[in-house]
Structure 1
Amino acid sequence: MQSSTLNAPAPPFHGHLRQGNDIFTVYCGIEKFIRKIPTPAEAPSPIHTSMDGDYRHTTWISNQMPYLVFLPRSNPFQGSLFERLNVTMQNTSNPSPLVTSNGEWSLVPALVRKWTELENALRSVLKAMYAEYPRAPFEGMLSVPFPSQFGYRNPPWRTREAAAIVVRHSRDAFLPFMATITMMFVLLDHHHRDNPWRLRVIKAAKVHPQWFADLESSAAGDKKAERVGGIIDLTLTWKSPMDALLTAV
């Protein structure tokens, strides 16, 4: 029996294209997207201090946040490490992550504990990764805001709506955090080649080898996972790690 290829997705595009007066170099481009590449005004880079930006679609990438090119395209909140973040504040059949007491709202205490444990471990790993790469963290790059900075540890909140905003922003703050770790996996593998940097990171971060293996198989470490990508203006003065990233990938 012959299989139909009529509905098969087009393969990724690699090459150059012109749009108006601009010339783009495309790597793993999606046909629908590259037919009309958005302007910086149409797809601005998210703001560093806010989680109101677009972390799900391709945007222009600022020199301050190069890690955004590694944002995962599909739902990354899966697996033993990140499934705890797979919560929704919508009225669905899934249990709500919010609880109320005396008219005030908070995140379920068990989730606060699990999110805190995950955040602390990721912070330790990222710090150890930086120690393995020259000049990291990099000049001009803004450090990724940590999820706890958005308040999930600081209840109560007066309304369910206010609680939902805090929890959603805190959860989504794990996305650029994960993307930064992905960036470091790429840079370290390219820089060290056969050097056993992973063992040193595991020791310095004080995480279990299986935990680190789970991290590397998740959306934060799996380099085969599809990424949101980004639009990079090469007419700007790019510093590390952008030049290193363009070489590594």
Structure 2
Amino acid sequence: MRSIGILYTAVQVVIVFGLNFLIVLKFRYLAHITSKVMQQLNYESVGKKYSHRLQGTDIVILNKPETEMITNKLEDLESFNHHLEEIIQDFNRALGLSVLIAVTSSLYTTMYYLYRLSTASDFSLTSNKRERLHYIIGLIGRSGKLLGYMLMGNQMLKNSQQPLEAIRKSRILNLPMVTQQQIQTLMLQWLDNKSYMSAGGIVNVGPWLLAPIVGNVITYLLVALQFNEVKHHH
């Protein structure tokens, strides 16, 4: 029964990690093609400015086909981003609840293992090395699982902001006014583009959970050890 539980946990972690990794790769690809589009627009703008200067003017006026081409490129970027948002929603809908259960169970099991190891002498664990080793391995596994989910959540959030950063790093002020307005509209749409690995929509999983988790573990241990000491005296 224990081996089945370990196998289920391992499969769950692999599935979550695999899907999270694919989503991260898609965000990186979106950031890459966004950067390429911005570079291409800048190169075309510089070329047109140089051509217009030869004609005695610095004003760059885009014709209708050029405007439509730029609009299509930016719409493709937004469409790709929207597709990613839908993937993340499906990911959280399918796995969010199981992630929440995994994080919660890992937290309470970690606290229990720490308590058992802290009161090893009372439970005669010092004489049972095998049982003591079981708790140590379990503690490492559960805490590692917690940290793993947090790192995955952080990677998803961090990479979801890369496409917007790619636009911010580009020189949009060198572009024609019409193009600048289109890019600014895209930036506004992506401004709140923060994708979280959400556990059932109740809590967003990431390293920001570390502080409250550590606080809960310490509080639990202090109360449990104090209760155990009082019980031992009686």
Same fold (TM over 0.5): no
Return the structure number with greater relative CO, CA threshold 8 A, min gap 6. 2
Q: What is the TM-score when the length of structure 2 is the normalising length?
A: 0.27
Greater Rg by CA: 2
Q: What is the TM-score when the length of structure 1 is the normalising length?
A: 0.25
Greater per-residue strand proportion: 1
Greater per-residue helix proportion: 2
